[in-house]
Amino acid sequence: MTSRETKAVQCLGFVDGQTGAIVPPIHPASTFERGADLGYPTGRAYGRADNPGFEPAERVLTELEGGQASLLFASGMAAATAVFLSLDPGDHVVAPRDMYWALRSWLAGYATRWGLAVAFVAMDDLDAVRAALRPGETRLVWVETPGNPLWTITDVEAVATLAHRAGAALAVDSTAATPVFTRPIALGADLVMHSATKYLNGHSDLIAGTLTTARDDDLWRRIKAFRAQNGAIAGAFEAWLLMRGMRTLHVRARRQAETAMRLAERLSIDPRVARVLYPGLPGHPGHDIAKRQMIGGFGGMLSIRLRGGRPAAIATAAAMTVFLRATSLGGVESLVEHRASVEGPDTPVPDDLLRLSIGLESPEDLLADLDQALSSSGG
């Protein structure tokens, strides 16, 4: 059986039948010719819903996630909000406290104005999840694991069981885990979301999002119609860039996870660092669950909390020369960010925390940069 890694590298064995090209083409067409009977012999009518350039990336992602179908969106936020906006006003949803800040803000603001009832809970506390569910009313449970930027781990299989018993679907934001390390559908999830801007593309030159479904059910058909009718689609070149990026996903993600583990172990014994948040460390609260559901690695993201508090965190980030001070994650370059400054006064993120996205640089260079920055800032 051909591995998922090989299928991604070879784009499911793609070879152009006319030219012999081994790279899928870009399809910029916005419309498609009808047949003489005014039907659609190719199955495509208009580029907003039927662009063939989306299909290679969607098929590969479906294979990687072990799902039935995937959809490409204009951004991670477009993909995530499409799920919630495919629900009915009055529906109840449960979401994590530790999650991507922009989506948390959207849920607390726009989603409630849309008419959704949103409960934020600690997803690593199964009793809290159980208490938040309203059987017959809760339509969706949203999970992000590892949860950005504290990297909390949610037991996907256990939460799926609770959600399904209550009559709710389970959607998992698996951006940080990637399908290399976690396959939520195999653990019981109904939907998997990625900010494809991050690891799937991996080159910091694309904004896109994806959804993958376990089955072609009513919720998926609503989401598909929402994308077509609201125009939340990526461009033709963006679709091509995403496919280009996914071909190297496995090798990138594994290298980044290996380096992240090495940095986490070193920083965990550094007296200038109060705490390292990384699920690969045995002392992480979610380590045992992560070992069970993250196969082959724990991802390329970690956060550190500094003994010197906010001043030391900001000074350390300012002193870095290899790590770049920038928002985002999952690219080939390593990034550092003081998340509390970015998220503002309502953030739940500690102000002594720095988020590190590990790239493909030499681990020795990254360690040296962290060491000199911690020394120059006073830790």
CATH number, residue 360 = 3.90.1150.10
Let me know whether 188 and 323 are in one domain. no
Let me know whether 221 and 192 are in one domain. yes
Let me know whether 322 and 366 are in one domain. yes
In angstroms, the CA 317 to CA 82 distance is 35
CATH of the domain at 131: 3.40.640.10
Residue with tokens 């067409």: 29
pLDDT in tens, 212-224: 999 999 999 999 9
In angstroms, the CA 152 to CA 192 distance is 18
Let me know whether 233 and 140 are in one domain. yes
Let me know whether 284 and 317 are in one domain. yes
Let me know whether 312 and 170 are in one domain. no
210 backbone dihedrals φ, ψ, rounded to 5°:
-140, 155
Is this prediction's pTM over 0.75? yes
Let me know whether 217 and 285 are in one domain. no
Last residue of a domain, one of 196, 220, 246: 246
Let me know whether 135 and 36 are in one domain. yes
Joined together, the tokens standing for residue 236 give 């033709």
Confidence of residue 181 (pLDDT cuts 50, 70, 90): very high
Let me know whether 143 and 237 are in one domain. yes
Best CA proximity match to 24, nearest among 66, 49, 53, 58: 53
The pLDDT, as a whole number, for residue 379 is: 64
Joined together, the tokens standing for residue 339 give 């998340």
Which stretches of the chain are assigned E, i.e. beta strand? 69-73, 92-96, 117-121, 138-144, 169-173, 191-194, 209-213, 273-277, 301-306, 324-325, 335-337, 353-357
Let me know whether 241 and 295 are in one domain. no
pLDDT in tens, 5-60: 999 999 899 998 889 999 999 989 888 889 999 888 888 888 888 788 899 999 99
Best CA proximity match to 200, nearest among 223, 218, 180: 180
Count how many domains the chain has.
2
Cα dist. 260→93, 171, 227, 323, 375 in Å?
A: 33, 26, 36, 13, 20
Let me know whether 211 and 162 are in one domain. yes
Last residue of a domain, one of 220, 246, 272: 246
Q: Which residues are catalytic?
A: 48, 100, 173, 198
In angstroms, the CA 167 to CA 34 distance is 42
How high is the mean pLDDT of the chain? Answer: 95
Distance of CA 21 to the CA centre of its chain: 31
CB neighbour list of residue 283: distance below 8 Å, 6 or more residues apart: 268
pLDDT in tens, 324-354: 999 999 999 999 999 999 888 888 899 999 9
What is the DSSP code (8-state) at residue 154?
-
Cross-strand partners of 191: 171, 213
| Strand arrangement of the beta sheet that strand 69-73 belongs to | 69-73, 209-213, 191-194, 169-173, 138-144, 92-96, 117-121
Is 80 exceeded by the pLDDT of residue 378? no
Last residue of a domain, one of 202, 228, 246: 246
CB neighbour list of residue 131: distance below 8 Å, 6 or more residues apart: 121
Tell me which residue range forms the domain holding 329.
249-377
Let me know whether 236 and 347 are in one domain. no
